[in-house]
């Protein structure tokens, strides 16, 4: 099957046009799965038994994924997710100075789009370690053509761990439509999503990473819907049918049939970027942990860096292909991707739900930081020692978001045979 029109398509990392790819893992019956649905805790990874769930990787349809990379994620993602969740509870990774009063510079808006569940208040000043404020204030400078441009630090810090991603009933479809149609590279010169030349593949890589972020956010939203449904009472009123929303947002017959593929692609890039940033992480003073231990945070960081996912050759293929495509195709055009990551960060100011805006900005910062580390200015990789505190924090936080999203997808796939009508 792969022989037909395979030359260009396989170099692009996609199935050949006109061919049919059968993933044996996807054919495995899940009719026997019957996983009890429990009330979600602060992190889904803290309560799942990986052996009880069908693997989300069985849904990955791209034949060029390295099987060992997917196997490493299946085997070790739960442990990594738990460590990252504990890490994200530490002050260094949970507090961000964000300007939530910025206006939208991309299209007109109405205040009617705001919803009451999106209200968010700054953390108390005494809760913010003075060392964090001092570092952020000293790292306000930026390069004009960099991958990242973050908000100027102020006295308003927001706690992303205390204010977790959830379902708020805010409709962000207008924002994502703009992102996919305007910020992502245009697809008019593509056939079925395939780069027609090697020079276009790097643009596809960028689009897939952004789509992966969208998938991660969608997974957390659907999980939030399920939590509200299970809580019953007023919180359950007005919540859409959960399984229908899951299929629409992440399913093969939904709005993006490649949503889960892109989730894995983004996860692999984030994991590779964290590995590449290891020197910066090991040289960082994270301050004391939540228990007052001086080395507690560093120990958690070392656990993350030691996780087999970060060092798996199959996972590393995503990074190698990203760089190869950038060097072979982008050349002097990589500035177009840097421009788009900056636009991705700025368009989040159009989100009129403050909780959603906070998480959208941090997730976008994580993706932009990963691109900065993996590609740098010319596609050969960046200097992680120059990363700012917020970039380091967002890099680990966003990896945690992707890891958690994959566990959410696995749980929802386990629910399918039960034909729930929540």
Is the Cβ–Cβ distance between 349 and 105 less than 8 Å?
A: yes
Phi-psi region of 285 (alpha: psi -120 to 50; beta: other; left: phi over 0): beta
Tokens 């998938």 locate to: 215
User: CB burial class (10 A; 0-12, 13-18, 19+) of residue 416?
Assistant: middle
Residues 415 and 200: their CA atoms lie apart, in Å, by 38
Residues 51 and 78: their CA atoms lie apart, in Å, by 10
pLDDT tens digits for 384-415?
999 999 999 999 999 999 999 999 999 998 87
Q: Cβ contacts of residue 27 below 8 Å, gap of 6+?
A: none
Q: What is the pLDDT of residue 37?
A: 31
The C-alpha angle with vertex 394 and arms to 316 and 374, in degrees rounded to 5, equals 30
Q: What is the pLDDT of residue 199?
A: 41
Q: For the chain, which ranges sit under pLDDT 50? A: 1-53, 189-199, 419-422
Q: For helices 313-325 and 67-88, what crossing angle results, to 10°? A: 90
Is the Cβ–Cβ distance between 356 and 348 less than 8 Å?
A: no
Residues 272 and 86: their CA atoms lie apart, in Å, by 20
pLDDT tens digits for 222-263?
999 999 999 888 888 889 999 999 999 999 899 999 999 999
Q: What is the pLDDT of residue 64?
A: 52
Give the residue from 17, 13, 284 showing the smallest Cα distance to 3.
Answer: 17
């Amino acid at each position: 099957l792969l022989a037909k029109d395979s030359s260009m398509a396989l170099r692009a990392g996609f199935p050949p046009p006109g061919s049919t790819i059968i993933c044996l893992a996807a054919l495995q019956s899940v009719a026997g799965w019957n996983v009890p649905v429990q009330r979600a805790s602060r992190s889904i990874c803290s309560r799942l038994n990986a052996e009880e769930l069908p693997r989300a990787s069985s849904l990955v349809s791209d034949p060029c994924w390295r099987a060992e990379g997917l196997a490493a994620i299946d085997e070790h993602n739960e442990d990594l997710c738990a460590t990252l969740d504990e890490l994200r509870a530490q002050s260094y990774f949970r507090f961000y100075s964000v300007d939530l009063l910025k206006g939208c510079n991309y299209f007109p808006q109405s205040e009617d789009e705001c919803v009451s569940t999106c209200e968010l208040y700054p953390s108390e000043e005494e809760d913010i370690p003075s060392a964090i404020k001092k570092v952020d204030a000293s790292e306000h400078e930026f390069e004009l053509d960099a991958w990242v441009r973050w908000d100027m630090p102020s006295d308003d810090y927001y706690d992303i761990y205390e204010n977790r991603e959830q379902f708020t009933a805010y409709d962000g479809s207008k924002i994502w439509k703009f992102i996919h149609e305007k910020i992502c590279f245009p697809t008019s010169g593509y056939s079925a999503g395939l780069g027609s030349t090697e020079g276009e593949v790097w643009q596809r890589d960028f689009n897939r990473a952004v789509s992966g972020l969208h998938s991660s956010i969608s997974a957390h939203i659907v999980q939030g819907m399920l939590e509200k449904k299970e809580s019953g009472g007023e919180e359950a009123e007005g919540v859409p049918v959960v399984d229908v929303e899951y299929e629409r947002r992440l399913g093969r017959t939904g709005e993006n049939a490649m949503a889960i593929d892109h989730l894995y692609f983004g996860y692999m890039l984030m994991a590779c970027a964290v590995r590449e940033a290891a020197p910066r992480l090991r040289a960082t003073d994270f301050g004391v942990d939540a228990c007052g231990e001086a080395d507690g945070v560093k120990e958690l960081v070392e656990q993350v860096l030691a996780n087999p996912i970060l060092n798996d050759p199959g996972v590393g293929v995503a990074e190698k292909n990203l760089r190869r495509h950038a060097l072979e195709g982008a050349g002097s055009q990589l500035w177009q991707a840097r421009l788009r990551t900056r636009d991705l960060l700025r368009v989040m100011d159009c989100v009129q739900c403050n909780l959603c805006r906070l998480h959208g900005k941090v997730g976008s910062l994580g993706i932009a930081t990963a691109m900065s580390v993996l590609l740098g200015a010319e596609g050969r990789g960046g200097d992680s020692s120059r990363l700012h505190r917020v970039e380091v924090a967002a890099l680990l936080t966003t990896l945690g978001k992707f890891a958690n999203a994959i566990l959410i997808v696995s749980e929802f796939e386990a629910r399918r045979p039960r034909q729930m009508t929540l």
